[in-house]
Amino acid sequence: MSDRKIDALGTDPKVIDGKAFAVKLREKIARQVKQLQAERGFTPGLAVVLVGEDPASKVYVRNKGEQTKECGMASFEHKLPATTTQAELLALIDQLNKDPKVNGILCQLPVPQQIDPQAIINAIDPDKDVDGFHVVNAGRLATGGQGLVPCTPYGCLLLLKDRLGDLSGKHAVVIGRSNIVGKPMAQLLLNESCTVTIAHSKTRDLPGEVRRADIVVAAVGRPEMVKGDWIKDGAVVIDVGINRIERDGKGKLVGDVDYASAYPKAGAITPVPGGVGPMTIALLLNNTLIAACRQHGVKLPD
């Protein structure tokens, strides 16, 4: 990383600091919530449902609850045993759909195997679907309707716009085609008038595709797969991957991009951790705020 430059503030301008961006976004949301309470007399509320004892899910749910409260919103946590049936979970979703204090509903995935996750997602009122996974919200995103956008790709888009401004005409390569990251990411970039290539496990010449990209978004789940010599000089690299590996006898989190070799080539790059990861919960809170304003028929405060 020979070309690392540190600016007067002691930060590296090449590194896209998602953690700092997310802090600012949460501060803005907290101000908007206060304004809604003072001027409109309501508090946005987020319900998070956790089924079972998955340790990673427990941490996510705890973090979501804490950050919801820190922003001044109401947090409703529902923890159900791993033996919960699909019918029982659907009954809870129905109750939350009808509760006017709940503006956003999220069911933490994965759910135990007796429950069909898509049936649960599609039971959530699309206007309260703050994860943006409901088929209606996927359709709205694809057709230019007013929906709720999945949080991780939405966070990536904000980081890209903050760095590049207008994205129109740029060639973006999204690696990964999942419903929660790759596909909505590609759709968001298309909506910004990028020329979009979606690469995936069957793509023939992945390095060649990535070499043509002004913007690379990697959402694969394979540690350090994208190498520096795949990156066009000056391209902006967004690394969504979160992979836990063992190195030198220690556990470590790495992305889908080989940061050490990509850093010198990239014009800007997100680190792992501290890049895309912190944006996801911030965008979940932002979606809850948007959903609450729409349900109350009021404009989002500035």
Helix, strand, or coil (residue 163): helix
Nearer to ligand NAD, 112 or 273 (CB): 273
Q: Give me the catalytic one of 125, 129, 131, 214.
A: 131
CB of 253 to ligand NAD, least distance (A): 10
Nearer to ligand NAD, 96 or 280 (CB): 280
Nearer to ligand NAD, 92 or 187 (CB): 187
Nearer to ligand NAD, 222 or 296 (CB): 222
Q: Give me the catalytic one of 32, 67, 108, 187.
A: 108
Backbone angles phi, psi at 202, to 5 degrees: -100, 5
CB of 162 to ligand NAD, least distance (A): 17
Pick left, alpha or beta for residue 184 (phi over 0 → left; psi -120 to 50 → alpha; otherwise beta): alpha
162 is catalytic: no
- Site for ligand NAD, rule CB under 6 A: 152, 175-178, 180-182, 199-201, 203, 206, 219-222, 240-243, 276-277, 280
64 is catalytic: yes
Buried b (16+ CB within 10 A) or exposed e, 14-50: bbbbbeebbeebbebbbebbeebeeeeebebbbbbbb
Supply angle C-alpha 231, 236, 253, rounded to 5: 80
Number of residue whose CB is nearest ligand NAD? 178
Backbone angles phi, psi at 238, to 5 degrees: -115, 115
CB of 181 to ligand NAD, least distance (A): 4
Rg (CA), the chain: 20
Question: What residues act catalytically?
Answer: 64, 108, 131
